[in-house]
Structure formats: C-alpha cells, structure tokens
Amino acid sequence: SQTIHQWPATLVQPVGSPLSLECTVEGTSNPNLYWYRQAAGRGLQLLFYSVGIGQISSEVPQNLSASRPQDRQFILSSKKLLLSDSGFYLCAWSEDGAVHEQYFGPGTRLTVT
Amino acid sequence: GQSLEQPSEVTAVEGAIVQINCTYQTSGFYGLSWYQQHDGGAPTFLSYNGLDGLEETGRFSSFLSRSDSYGYLLLQELQMKDSASYFCAVRDDYKLSFGAGTTVTVRA
C-alpha cells in the first residue's frame, strides 16, 4: 500500500531563517506531487505541483521554492522566511491521471516568529 | 482562474441530513471532488464527480450539474464523528483548486 511521509510535524522558525520541508511517498511510482499551505480556518492554497522528476509548476509567486530530486521525494524550501509564511503545510500525491483523488501527508505546522 | 463558493458553517443534530452546496466558476473543468478534514488533521478524499449525476458512497453522496456549475455533498444519518470541515475542489488537467470549506458541527 502507499504511504506518504512528511517531516517535521511542527516547526518554529525566526523571520529571515531558511526552511526545508521534506515529503516522501512509498509504494507507488511516478506520482504527481503537490505542496499546499493552509492558513488557520481557511482552505488549501496550492503552492507547487510536479508531474515528474525536475518538473515543477508554481502556482503562487512568493519566496518559496520546490524541488523534486527523486521520483518520490518533494522538497519545499525558502531562503528567508517571512511572518506570512506561517501555516499548515501539506504534501499530497496522486496517481498520474487521477488528479481528483489526492492523498495527503500528516502536514507540518510552521510558525514564523 | 477558479472561483468556488460553499457555505462557511452548518450545524445539525445526530441522525439528520446535511447538504453542502458548491458553486464554481472555472475554465478547463474536468470534475468536482470532495474532501473531509478533521480539526488538526490532513484532508481525506471522499468522492469525485466527473460526469453529471449522483455518486453514492455509504452515508455520503455527491452530485454534479455541469450546466449549472453546481454540485453538492449530502451527508446522511449524521454521526458525531462527521463533525469536520468539508471542501469542494474543481479539477483541471493537472491540479485541484479548493473552496474555503464548510465546517459541519453535529450536536447530540
């Protein structure tokens, strides 16, 4: 069966510090991968998606970036965090062609202080 | 771009039926998905309508009308564990765009 891992679960970082969140998927090949951010009590904002290694599409211009160095690994990064980067970051995967059915990791709750 | 509207909150008693409506404006529409998210948890997939009509999955059903740009999620025989946020999401070629979510509160 497929499993998606995200770490860390919680993170408190000062403004201006770098960020690296990692997501890995097991039990499937060539998945579509997604990064979302969710503000408290709000919907999910798609940040990046990837349909293959090295293929990244950005949905929202901001100080975040994403990389997919391996088929089942998706990394979200920032060189300098802003207060507005605080939120719940969720990684998700889907089968290619089944974009409507996404499976989410447990999420990382980021607080920028 | 995409625009979705769904009610922000719904409250009902155990055993009742709740309908969560979702209207959308989008280009490149493939279908409508529904997700459930309990407080502090990750969203989980509930159902998908790629064609007009009703899809039934146990106590939950989802409906789509492409001509009306409208869909709904029907929760029947409400249970306390159904207290959660419910999101509709429109699918295009490569991604989902989510609505702001509807918080469903089930009272005893």
- Give the pLDDT of residue A61: 66
Mean pLDDT for chain A?
A: 94
B43 touches chain A (CB under 8 A): yes
Tokens read off for A12: 């408190």
How far is it, in rounded angstroms, from Cα B28 to Cα B26? 7
Residues 6+ apart with CB under 8 A from A35: A23, A46, A47, A48, A49, A66, A74, A76, A89, A90, A91
Tokens read off for A35: 């990064």
Distance from CA of B83 to the nearest CA of A (A): 14
B91: chain A residues, CB-CB within 8 Å:
99-100
Distance from CA of A102 to the nearest CA of B (A): 7
pLDDT in tens, A51-106: 999 999 998 868 999 999 999 999 999 999 999 999 999 999 999 889 999 999 99
Residue B91: exposure state from Cβ atoms within 10 A (0-12, 13-18, ≥19): buried
Closest Cα in chain B to A42: B100
Closest Cα in chain A to B92: A99
pLDDT in tens, A74-87: 999 999 999 999 99
What is the C-alpha R_g of chain A? 13
H/E stretch holding A97 = none
